[in-house]
Copies of this chain bind each other. A is one copy, B any other.
Amino acid sequence: MEKENKNLSFNDYVSRFNVFLKQRKLSHTSERNAILRAIYQFDKHFTLEELLNYLKKNKYYVSRSTLYNNINLLLEAGLIYKYQFSNQDLPCYEKCLKENVHNHIYNIKTQEVIEFSDQRIEDIIHEIEQKYNIKVLQHNFVAYCEDNNN
């Protein structure tokens, strides 16, 4: 909870996607630009439907197929998170602005998400790697909470 590394600027965000596209030998398209710009606008997490509506409202129509396709690419690129907090809720996505932060506090009432870092989690991962002779590729921590005053 101590380390608070800086958020990525929109330009950095875009260029990370460009690097990814280049690696994969994929093309730049106006749809991809529009989607990336839209995602960056969202301050909180959003569903695919909400993203679609946002794009439509802003006079940029993208088909569902294209959106699914590119959401999957962005997930693979590590530029967005996918949450599915409850079984019946739709999956939510959120731009990933801090690198290597995979710890989240999720408010089940307001559905707000706070990202945080903590050295102790890094320590635990290190110890796991030693103890089991494995490489931890990624991790995920979610604390589900509610406000004390309700």
Interface residues of chain A, those whose CB is within 8 Å of chain B, are 1, 72, 75, 82, 84, 87, 105, 107-108, 114, 116, 118, 120-121, 123-125, 127-129, 131-149
Closest Cβ–Cβ distance, residue A89 to chain B (whole Å): 13
Set B120, B132, B144, B149: member contacting A105, Cβ < 8 A: B132
Closest Cβ–Cβ distance, residue A116 to chain B (whole Å): 8
Q: Are A143 and B135 in contact (CB under 8 A)?
A: no
Q: Which residues of B contact A127 (CB under 8 A)?
A: 1
Which chain B residue lies CB-closest to A75?
B87
Q: Are B128 and A120 in contact (CB under 8 A)?
A: no
Q: Which residues of B contact A131 (CB under 8 A)?
A: 1
Closest Cβ–Cβ distance, residue A114 to chain B (whole Å): 7
A132–B144 alpha-carbon span in the complex (Å): 13
A72–B136 alpha-carbon span in the complex (Å): 31
